[in-house]
Amino acid sequence: MLHGRVAEQAGITRLLAGESGALMVRGEAGAGKSALLDFAAEIASDQIVLRASGIPEESHLPYGGLHMLLATTRPHWKHLPAQQRDALDRLGEPEPRGQVPGGRAVGEATWPRSPYLPVWDLLRHLAGRRPVLCLIDDAHWLDRESLAVLSFCVRRLAAARVAILVAAEGELPALREIDELDLRGVDRQAALDIVAGCRPGIVPQVRERIVADACGNPLALRELAAGIGPAQVEGRLSPLGLHTGWPGRSRRADQLYGERLRALPDRTRSLLLLAAADPAASLSELLAAARAMPAFQPGLLAAAGSQPELLAAARATPADLEPAETAQLVEVRPAGLTPRHLLILVAAYQSAPVSARIAAHRALAEAVPERRVWHLAAAALEPDEEIARELAAIGTSSALERAAELTADPESRARHHAAAALAACDAGQLRRAADLATRATRLSTEPSTLVSAARVLATVEAEIGSPAKAARMLLDSAARIDDDDQATAIVMIADAIRLFGYSGDEGLAGQIAAAIWAAPAASQIAWPEAQPTWSAPLARSLPPLAKIMAGGPFSGFAAIGELVEHTPALATQQAITATSLGLMAADAGAALRLTSTLVTDCRHQDLMGLLPYALQLQSHALLLSGRNAEALRQATEGLKLAGDLGQTHRVGHLSGVVALIAAMNGDEKRCRAYAESSLACCADHDAPASAALATWALGLLELGLGRASTAVDHLERVVAGPAHHPVIAVRCAADLVDAAIQADLPGAAVEPLALLEQWAKDTRQRWIGAVALRCRALVAPDGEAESLFVGALDLHGPSQASFQRARTELAYGQWLRRTRRRSEARSHLRAAHAAFEQLGGLPWAERAATELSAAGEPSPAEPLPEALRGLTPQERHVVFLAAQGASNREIAARLFLSPRTVGYHLYRAFPKLGITSRTELANLL
């Protein structure tokens, strides 16, 4: 499959669509020239296709390329004159001694077997039957005589249905008259697709590194992806070239460049080896390092004493690179060597013996201070504590893992493995993190190391397995922590509560509560000076959080608020836990500030493994703030990244978030697709919170589309049914009240309304109080409803672009229209319509527009059809809903009418429209 070559394929298609023509595809090795020729052969299935390929070993044979090109045409030679047949028969044979090669002009040719006219006449004869396509690959290796004949034919193509497509590297003066197509590197997305297709499972950081190193060359992309070892696939990287860590060799690199490299002088090869061992080294650094290489130590400086001529010979100069420049292998610049192709460096490194590679790394360690420790580590063959300490100080997972390998003491090695596991986990390299943590567990008996490894294993389990199992792992580890490290225990219990929020396991809730009660009360803990200031508020927030997760009242938000105040001072991992717990307080402003900081920190610190979670939290915060479009962008980015990282649980939850936003926007296809994906993922990974979110999305979708009864079915599952989740239940309670009233099921509104009002009381958030008042107004008698609606709007505040405020404006406008106060209703309905349009909530905007129409204000955007102009606004409203398939009962619920009144309106409307049935109504509209 060709990736990223749409324009080039279009150019070849145009060539073959014409009567005749010629095109040369030029590009470096591996750019995809042969693949384009294969594409041309594929689409030319109804043509006569002739193929030849230049081969270095045959480039000295006169007309060898023509012999290959015309080999399949022999049955047609009988139609040519005898002398021409004889010329074709002798293609590929050596020319007679003393004769001038057949490459000169026909009129001057003295050799009677000149193939110019025979080849051209043969092509014309074939083209008389069907169009002919000549495909010449690697034309830069074609013999000059064949190139001359091809040039002769190209100049005459207008007279026949013949197309010639040539692929070559570099310049071909013999074919200078042919149009050229320069084949540059593929774009980033195509490069990513090539890597993913060649080596599935590569973590994103390594995939991006391969794409950056290959510079868009498809062959380099495939060779790098195929050549890296299992550790590199899972994220082990160093700042040196990827190829320096390969477990094997690239045969393709050796085929392309091995002979050319072996033909270079020793000094040139040594410099190329240094460049391959550190592609980022500057020219001055390479020249400085070269002195330590054997090729620059003639007679080991005669072992006698530093004679001036020997010292001069030991100095490397740019002149030592001239043979590589002449061979067009590299370009030399002060910034370093730029290879003509990445595989040149691969071949230079892999063709050198191990001893030479070690010498190169040791030499570079002295010349390149920035990467000194990496070169020392690459050259080390046995444990070295000093190198290990320097690597551990770098702090990346790759440096820590190499430090463990260079450490002899088992406990020290285990600590390095545990630290590497945590860094890998933060980077989203889950398989590697689990492997490193397991190694630490096998080596260590120290409680702190075991606890650190256990936290990593629990995190991995939460992302790819069961959140409930992960929470239990955290509780078990917290119980083993020494009394002098209460802060770590508190954080692990908080993490367990957070994970319980995704699992919904009541038995686990009891275990968490027991763990909290067994711990000293936060106010009674004698916190050491070294303990962080956030430990106490986090500890105080645990009991109310555990109660909430176990389905208890939403109380204790003062402690959560105190925790939120300390969150900016936390490390990113702890800040994510605190922000996740603090979001239950539903403080939109605080949530947005905290999550924005989290996302920024994850990006700047390259914490790719934490970024999907941070984006998930930010999308929830943006939804609370009414910024739906931004929420969708963040959730979509997080979903893609979580998928790349293999975070299956995060994929399930973020799919639910996308489904919820799609439901608000009325995007039924997207909502159902992502909700179904979320539900399937949750079923496999024991994550009822994500299932509740997806079920809420489906209920909100049905509510927005006017299918209230179906919406009730979905939402009841979340509030008090099999998809119940305590936090999401309160978030969707208002939707269930709305759906129950529209479906004329007032009994279904009692429990969610009570839940909503308790949430408003506990959190004391103005917007939640406003929603609770709106829902109370929906079930209140007409004499009480208006004051409740007005109070709700007052609590919402002035923000017009709020989804919940727009819902309140719509509900109040509907109530005013139903009570025949149409003029007042229109102002609220206009505000609702404008807000929904700004937010992208199309079904809700349509509902507001329909209500406006029923209140006597026709839509300015779409003039009424002629047939509907004789209807009253109320009749038009009923007719539109009936045409969409709604029953009389469903229409009555939407418009706050009785089913009998709906039937009456249809009875009056049908004669005005000249129809007698609902089927005719649907056809009419």
Distance CA 759, CA 762 (A): 5
Q: String of b and e for 860-874 (b: at least 16 CB within 10 Å)?
A: eeeeeeeebeebebb
Decide if 467 contacts 498 (C-beta within 8 A).
no
Distance CA 905, CA 883 (A): 13
Decide if 740 contacts 711 (C-beta within 8 A).
no
* Number of helices and strands in the chain (H, E): 47, 7
If we measure between CA atoms, which residue out of 710, 708, 677, 706 comes closest to residue 694?
Answer: 677
Tokens of 260: 């050319």
Residue 309 CA from chain centroid, whole number = 58
Per DSSP bridges, beta strands 21-26 and 162-168 are: parallel
Per DSSP, the residues of 833-849 read: HHHHHHHT-HHHHHHHH
Distance CA 475, CA 458 (A): 10
Return the number of other C-beta atoms located less than 10 Å from residue 883's C-beta: 14
Q: Average pLDDT across each block of 10 residues of the chain; the chain has 925 residues. List them in order.
A: 85 85 91 93 91 90 91 89 86 56 41 76 90 94 92 86 91 86 90 90 91 92 91 91 88 91 93 95 94 74 53 77 93 92 94 93 94 95 95 95 96 96 93 96 91 92 87 84 73 78 63 61 43 61 68 61 64 73 72 87 89 92 84 94 91 95 90 94 78 94 92 93 84 94 92 91 86 95 93 85 88 92 92 87 88 77 57 74 77 70 79 76 67
DSSP state of 462: H
Decide if 773 contacts 795 (C-beta within 8 A).
yes
Decide if 660 contacts 696 (C-beta within 8 A).
yes
Tokens of 829: 């309905």
Task: Catalogue the long-range contacts made by 170-177 (C-beta closer than 8 Å, 24 or more residues apart).
Answer: 170/26, 170/140, 170/328, 172/24, 172/139, 172/140, 172/147, 174/144, 174/147, 174/148, 174/150, 175/24, 175/139, 175/147, 175/150, 175/151, 177/151
Distance CA 585, CA 687 (A): 22
How far from each other are the two terminal CA atoms of the chain, in whole angstroms?
A: 47
**Helix, strand, coil abundance in the chain, percent, nearest 5:** 70, 5, 25
Return the number of other C-beta atoms located less than 10 Å from residue 213's C-beta: 17
Going 297 to 302 to 306 to 312, the CA torsion angle's sign is negative
The type of residue at 247 is P
How confident is the model at residue 305, as a pLDDT? 52
203: left (phi over 0), alpha (psi -120 to 50) or beta: beta
The type of residue at 110 is T
Per DSSP bridges, beta strands 48-53 and 132-137 are: parallel
Cα dist from 172 to 55, 169, 179, 364, 920, whole Å:
15, 8, 12, 40, 72
Q: What are phi and psi of 403, to 5 degrees?
A: -60, -40
How confident is the model at residue 60, as a pLDDT? 86
Residue 301 CA from chain centroid, whole number = 55
Decide if 853 contacts 872 (C-beta within 8 A).
no
How confident is the model at residue 146, as a pLDDT? 92
**Residue 591: exposure state from Cβ atoms within 10 A (0-12, 13-18, ≥19):** buried
Alpha helices in 104-143 (DSSP H): 116-129
If we measure between CA atoms, which residue out of 385, 445, 391, 378 comes closest to residue 419?
Answer: 391
Q: String of b and e for 732-766 (b: at least 16 CB within 10 Å)?
A: bbbbbbbbbbbbbbeebbebbbebbbbbbebbebe
Return the number of other C-beta atoms located less than 10 Å from residue 550's C-beta: 18
The SS3 call for residue 22 is: strand
Q: What are phi and psi of 784, to 5 degrees?
A: -105, -15
Q: String of b and e for 312-331 (b: at least 16 CB within 10 Å)?
A: eebebeeebbebbeebebbe
Tokens of 428: 């989203």
DSSP state of 101: P
Decide if 134 contacts 107 (C-beta within 8 A).
no
Tokens of 580: 């996740």
- Please count the residues of the chain: 925
602: left (phi over 0), alpha (psi -120 to 50) or beta: alpha
If we measure between CA atoms, which residue out of 256, 293, 299, 243 comes closest to residue 271?
Answer: 293
Distance CA 73, CA 639 (A): 56
> How far is it between the farthest Cα atoms of the chain?
118
DSSP state of 441: H
How confident is the model at residue 82, as a pLDDT? 87
Q: What are phi and psi of 189, to 5 degrees?
A: -65, -40
Distance CA 753, CA 59 (A): 86
The H or E element spanning position 26 is: strand 21-26
Distance CA 554, CA 547 (A): 8
The SS3 call for residue 378 is: helix
Tokens of 349: 């490194």
Alpha helices in 136-282 (DSSP H): 144-154, 188-198, 204-214, 218-227, 230-233, 251-262, 266-277
Q: Which residue has the tokens 């390329």?
A: 65
DSSP state of 160: S
User: Which positions ≥6 away from 515 have C-beta within 8 Å?
Assistant: 475, 478, 479, 493, 496
Distance CA 816, CA 804 (A): 18
Tokens of 864: 């009424």
Tokens of 684: 């496999």
